[in-house]
């Protein structure tokens, strides 16, 4: 279980994962060794899954986000496994969630523009185990964060 010090460390490195142990030490009024050990422990336990760089999608010519809702007409264990394997290999799909309800999956797709999304759909619909239920085109990103409130 995380204590308040672990949560403080996580808040700091979620906001800026490039902070050094020394900078964390100064911010948290702790010596560097305990901070280092706590971070290593949280990595080992899987609390910290990894470190990444957030990229401005528009500046790398990927300005269109679309949420694609998918249904699976033949909802079988084999089809679920096949679909999830296929989706995990699609670079355009940033996130994919398995739902309970009318829609089986929702994918967050990032492409250059709506024409690129159309091309993505043409390839995606070759997976005969799924059906695109609806596509929701994002007009404007209002909030985006990867930070979990602790």
- Mean pLDDT over 72-89 rounds to 96
Domain check: are 22 and 71 in the same one? no
Domain check: are 78 and 23 in the same one? no
Domain check: are 83 and 26 in the same one? no
Q: What is the pLDDT of residue 141?
A: 95
Measured in degrees and rounded to the nearest 5, phi and psi for residue 64 equal: -110, 120
Domain check: are 91 and 31 in the same one? no
Cα–Cα distance for residue pair 148/83, rounded to 1 Å:
28
Q: What is the pLDDT of residues 24-48, one digit of tens each?
A: 999 999 999 999 999 999 999 999 9
Per the structure, the complete domain to which residue 113 belongs is given by: 57-137
The pLDDT > 90 percentage for the chain reads 99
The tokens 């609390």 sit on which residue? 47
**Confidence tier at 139 by pLDDT (50, 70, 90):** very high
Instruction: Kindly tell me the sign of the dihedral angle through the C-alpha atoms of 53, 85, 47, 7.
Output: positive
Residue 147 lies in a domain: no
Q: Count Cβ neighbours within 10 Å for each residue of 17-49 and write b for 16 or more, e otherwise.
A: eeeebeebbeeeebeeeebeebbeebeeeeebe
Number of domains in the chain: 2
Domain check: are 87 and 22 in the same one? no
Residue 50 lies in a domain: no
């Amino acid at each position: 279980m995380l204590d308040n010090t672990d949560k403080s460390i996580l808040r700091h490195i979620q906001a800026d994962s490039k902070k050094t142990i020394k900078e964390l030490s100064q911010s948290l009024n702790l010596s560097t060794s305990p901070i280092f050990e706590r971070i290593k422990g949280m990595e080992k336990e899987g609390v910290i899954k990894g470190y990444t760089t957030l990229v401005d999608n528009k500046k790398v010519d990927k300005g269109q986000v679309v949420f694609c809702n998918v249904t699976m007409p033949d909802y079988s264990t084999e089809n679920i496994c096949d679909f999830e394997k296929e989706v995990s290999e699609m670079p355009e799909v940033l996130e994919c969630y398995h739902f309970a309800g009318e829609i089986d999956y929702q994918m967050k797709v990032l492409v250059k523009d709506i024409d690129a999304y159309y091309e993505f759909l043409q390839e995606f619909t070759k997976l005969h185990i799924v059906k695109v239920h609806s596509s929701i085109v994002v007009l404007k990103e209002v909030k985006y964060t990867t930070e979990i409130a602790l």
